[in-house]
């Protein structure tokens, strides 16, 4: 369907059953790009099926208007499972003595890029634990090599907290984007998810550095992390409305059996989908992945994420022998050839009317 024929108006039969209070708030979020924390709390408290369907259909229409039926793919290269941090939710936390650790060499990382490029990937996401072996110089060198070999590709880093000078050096070497989820915008909640020495203040300082330096910057959080309340989620959304990041990563919390949160329940897929829709309405041009965790939590979760307003899928380009060692949560998929997974995603998105495109998939414009 030509883009100009896609109506912005909500589908009438869905709008019919929607709670008028929720509809008003969703419409206001969409018009203003923000809501007060109390209004987010109201929206998130107990959304009805109709509320969620209304937000989903409006968000899908906004994504269509911004991106058409195009979905961007990112090639994820998990290059080190060593981590000095001890986040209570994460399977590769320092205290998990059962976690096997590995590092890819720069040549191995470049080989992952080569395979990804051949398969149509034009963004490489280099992700790792916070591994001191990869100093500023080492990371800078890797970025330079990828930049030289693939001038038409975007380079995204997801390597945690570093100094302002280090971030600047990565940017100058040719890195385009940086993902650093804020995890929760409430400092007391942040303290309950992390250990001493990890503060929300320092996380937020990194995010503002990254944005100021000029990275397309990504924040985000888990839905259903332990101790999380509706108030915390409302604060997360207010924070996103203020930061106005280029990318937002949101997935359900999933327990990892060798962490202190191993017996906690997983986050709700339906609530995650609702929040993805609200984020799309709040930040119309945001790059929003339907995360791996969403696909793990529910069969078809990734496709549901795209239908709820997401427009990005990240697939794993890491060497298959190392993938079982990068388990942030239980049941993370580790098997499968990259070309098969890529093709499977292409086909499953085609079934719901979306095209996976060969494109860097940059943010369309700076947000404000």
Contact 53, 60 (CB under 8 A): no
Would you tell me how many other CB atoms lie within 10 Å of the CB of residue 168? 18
Nearer to ligand 5AD, 25 or 327 (CB): 327
- Residue 273, classified by CB atoms within 10 Å of its CB into exposed (0-12), middle (13-18) or buried (19+), is buried
| 223 touches ligand 5AD (CB under 6 A) | no
| Contact pick of 82, 181, 258, 360 for ligand 5AD (by CB under 6 A) | 181
CB 256 to ligand 5AD: min, Å? 5
Phi-psi region of 214 (alpha: psi -120 to 50; beta: other; left: phi over 0): left
CB 13 to ligand 5AD: min, Å? 35
CB 295 to ligand 5AD: min, Å? 12
CB 332 to ligand 5AD: min, Å? 9
CB 237 to ligand 5AD: min, Å? 16
Q: What's the DSSP call for residue 287?
A: B
Region binding ligand 5AD by CB under 6 A among candidate stretches 36-44, 238-246, 252-260, 310-318? 252-260
**CA–CA separation, 88 vs 228, rounded Å?**
14
| 254 touches ligand 5AD (CB under 6 A) | yes
Element (H, E) at 367: none
196 Cα distance to chain centroid: 25
Contact 52, 271 (CB under 8 A): no
Nearer to ligand 5AD, 117 or 329 (CB): 329
CB 261 to ligand 5AD: min, Å? 7
Q: Please name the residues in contact with 278: beta carbons below 8 A apart, sequence gap of 6 or more.
A: 26, 29, 40, 43, 55, 59, 237
CB 220 to ligand 5AD: min, Å? 7
Nearer to ligand 5AD, 26 or 248 (CB): 248
| 239 touches ligand 5AD (CB under 6 A) | no
Nearer to ligand 5AD, 23 or 211 (CB): 211
**CA–CA separation, 121 vs 14, rounded Å?**
37
Region binding ligand 5AD by CB under 6 A among candidate stretches 102-110, 233-241, 251-259, 280-288? 251-259
Q: Which x/- pattern, by CB under 6 A, does the window 310-329 give for ligand 5AD?
A: ------------------xx
Per DSSP, what are the bridge partners of residue 289?
312
CB 202 to ligand 5AD: min, Å? 15
Q: Which x/- pattern, by CB under 6 A, does the window 329-348 give for ligand 5AD?
A: x-------------------
Task: Write the DSSP string, 183-250.
Answer: B-S-HHHHHHHS-TT--HHHHHHHHHHHHHHT-EEEEEEEET-TT--HHHHHHHHHHHHHH--SEEEE
| 167 touches ligand 5AD (CB under 6 A) | no
Sites of contact with ligand 5AD (CB under 6 A): 89-90, 181, 183, 222, 251, 253-254, 256, 293, 328-329
């Amino acid at each position: 369907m030509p883009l100009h024929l896609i109506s912005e108006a909500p589908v009438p039969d869905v709008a019919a059953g929607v709670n008028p209070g929720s509809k008003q708030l969703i419409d206001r979020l969409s018009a203003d790009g923000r809501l007060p924390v109390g209004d987010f709390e109201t929206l998130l408290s107990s959304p009805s099926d109709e509320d969620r369907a209304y937000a989903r259909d409006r968000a899908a229409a906004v994504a269509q208007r911004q991106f058409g039926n195009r979905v961007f793919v990112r090639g994820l290269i998990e290059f080190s499972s060593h981590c000095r941090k001890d986040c209570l939710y994460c399977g590769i936390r320092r205290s998990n003595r059962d976690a096997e650790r590995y590092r890819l060499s720069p040549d191995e990382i470049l080989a992952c890029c080569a395979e990804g490029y051949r398969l149509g990937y034009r963004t490489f996401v280099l992700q790792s634990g916070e591994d001191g072996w990869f100093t500023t110089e080492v990371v800078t060198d890797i970025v330079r090599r990828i930049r030289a070999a693939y001038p038409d590709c975007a380079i995204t880093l997801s390597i945690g907290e570093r100094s302002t000078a280090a971030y600047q050096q990565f940017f100058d070497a040719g890195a385009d984007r940086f993902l650093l989820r804020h995890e929760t915008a409430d400092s007391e909640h942040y303290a309950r998810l992390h250990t001493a020495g990890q503060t929300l203040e320092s996380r937020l300082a990194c995010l503002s550095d990254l944005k100021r330096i000029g990275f397309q910057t990504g924040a985000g959080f888990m839905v259903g992390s332990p101790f999380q309340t509706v108030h915390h989620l409302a604060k997360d959304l207010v924070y996103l409305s203020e930061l106005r990041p280029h990318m937002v990563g949101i997935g359900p919390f999933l327990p990892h059996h060798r962490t202190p949160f191993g017996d906690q329940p997983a986050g709700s897929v339906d609530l995650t989908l609702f929040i993805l829709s609200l984020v799309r309405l709040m930040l119309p041009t945001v790059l929003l992945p339907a995360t791996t965790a969403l696909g793990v939590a529910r069969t078809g979760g990734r496709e549901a994420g795209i239908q709820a307003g997401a427009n990005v899928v990240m697939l794993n380009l890491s060497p298959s022998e190392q993938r079982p060692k990068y388990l942030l949560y239980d049941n993370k998929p580790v098997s499968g050839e990259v070309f098969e997974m890529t093709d499977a995603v292409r086909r499953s998105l085609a079934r719901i009317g979306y095209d996976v495109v060969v494109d860097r998939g940059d943010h369309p414009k700076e947000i404000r």
